[in-house]
Amino acid sequence: MAPKLIDMPELVMNRILNELDYKSIQPLRKVCRDIRNFIDDQNPNQKINTISIECKESTGDYRILYDKNGIVLDPRTWASVFYEKYKNGCLVRYKDKEIVLENEDFLNRSMEDLEMIIRSKNTTVRLRLDRNPLDCGKVEPIKIPKSNEKVDFSLILDTLKKKVLEPRTHKLKVHRMMIQTHDQKELMKVLPFLDSDFLKELCIFNTVDDDKNKVLKMDEILQLDHFDNLERFEISGCIIPDNCVTKLSHIPYCHIQVESVNSRDLLFLKDVILCFPTFREFEIKFQSFPDLNEFLEASGIWKTGFTFSLEKRSYFQMEDPDSILMITYSTRYENKISFEKKTLRWVTSGGPIVIQ
């Protein structure tokens, strides 16, 4: 009689598991209860680098993507699992398979699957939470028609918090988080449960045109330790309070949108950046700048661009002799002021300039 897989020594089984990724481990868990229990007890690293939770509220499409690629989601390597309500249970669609789970809530089922994937305290991932992705993928029903029942993004975050994040003994290690929202309450359902020592990049975005001028409150978020360690912070599609400009001056790479900027805050920002060795870039898009002339005068000499007259630039020597702070004021496409760290060679490549 051929030996059974489960009868192999534990060391051999663990070596096999260590060579498998998510797509291989999940089917293996379904072979039998003994193998499933062994896998769950051993808690192998399933080599997941990116997790994307996506829902299209208008169509009811809801899926979780798992990808071993840590930079850009790749259809060739990701596993895409769709969940939806079906009668008194849950319907799961994966590739060409449809599984009906009786008496199970589809949100709870999806989060239990997610929890199993990230159970290891050493798992470090990129996390994307997308309310209305441009492409939530297409799933063609095989036997069971699609329900098209609406999905509430905020309810998904509630379930993520309750089923996955709150029960964890160790906070989830996320290197980069992207979330589509303009609501601080939604952010606070997730952000406090991430390990602040590992979170380096936070991107908050919004793609709904009607919400572009909505203000994302920041008072609770800024109280978290996470902002002390951020290396990259980006806001797009909504605005944050004006007083956040100076509160974010310690972040090396920062892109934000505000309603109004003022000379005092920008001059403070300039002084901080000049002594900031790891600084890279700080861009502010704004709607109004009441004391613009005061800022331009206080910043000394400005050079108007040869190609675009709607851009002005000013240059300042940073502490590192080869590092130059370039400040650009532009109304070319939208009102924007940016602070960028450049090399001396880069700023002088287009001709002579005045460095202050």
- Tracing tokens 């994040």 back to the chain, one arrives at 165
Is 115 in contact with 51 (CB distance < 8 Å)?
no
Give the C-alpha distances (Å, rounded to integers) separating 340 from 141, 273, 350.
Answer: 50, 9, 16
The verdict on residue 37 lying in a domain is yes
- How high does pLDDT run on average in the chain? 84
Residue 210, pLDDT above cutoff 60: yes
The verdict on residue 313 lying in a domain is no
- Give residue 333's pLDDT: 84
Residue 315, pLDDT above cutoff 80: yes
Q: List, for residues 243-292, the tens digit of each pLDDT value.
A: 999 999 999 999 999 999 999 999 999 999 999 999 999 999 999 999 99
Higher pLDDT, residue 50 or 199:
199
Report the percentage of the chain scoring pLDDT > 70: 76
User: Strand pairing partners for 92?
Assistant: 83, 99
- Tracing tokens 């029960």 back to the chain, one arrives at 167
Nearest in space to 123 (alpha carbons), one of 160, 175, 82: 175
The verdict on residue 30 lying in a domain is yes
Tokens of 159: 């379930």
Torsion of CA 89, 137, 192, 236, to 10 degrees: -140
Residue 131, pLDDT above cutoff 60: yes
Residue 1, pLDDT above cutoff 70: no
- The band of 162, judged by pLDDT with boundaries at 50, 70 and 90, is very high
Q: What angle do CA 218, 199, 224 make, to 5 degrees?
A: 35
- Give residue 325's pLDDT: 96
Contacts of 185 (CB under 8 A, 6+ apart): none
- Give residue 267's pLDDT: 96
Phi and psi at 157, nearest 5°, equal: -65, -40
- The band of 187, judged by pLDDT with boundaries at 50, 70 and 90, is very high
- The band of 56, judged by pLDDT with boundaries at 50, 70 and 90, is confident
- Domain range for 28: 1-46
- Give residue 92's pLDDT: 85
Q: List, for residues 326-341, the tens digit of each pLDDT value.
A: 999 998 888 999 999 9
Is 297 in contact with 279 (CB distance < 8 Å)?
no
Which of 42-51, 85-94, 347-356 has the weakest average pLDDT? Answer: 42-51
Q: List, for residues 288-308, the tens digit of each pLDDT value.
A: 999 999 999 998 888 886 555
- Give residue 120's pLDDT: 63
- Give residue 304's pLDDT: 80
Q: How many residues does the chain have?
A: 356
Q: What is the count of structural domains for the chain? A: 1
- Give residue 341's pLDDT: 97
- Give residue 307's pLDDT: 55
The verdict on residue 140 lying in a domain is no
| Highest mean pLDDT (candidates 36-45, 246-255, 306-315) | 246-255
The verdict on residue 3 lying in a domain is yes
The verdict on residue 33 lying in a domain is yes
Residue 319, pLDDT above cutoff 60: yes
The verdict on residue 238 lying in a domain is no
* Mean pLDDT computed over 230-245: 94
- Give residue 3's pLDDT: 60
- Give residue 292's pLDDT: 93
The verdict on residue 42 lying in a domain is yes
Q: List, for residues 57-102, the tens digit of each pLDDT value.
A: 777 788 888 887 666 666 677 778 888 888 888 888 887 778 888 8
Strand, coil or helix: 236? strand
Is 132 in contact with 56 (CB distance < 8 Å)?
yes
Residue 49, pLDDT above cutoff 90: no
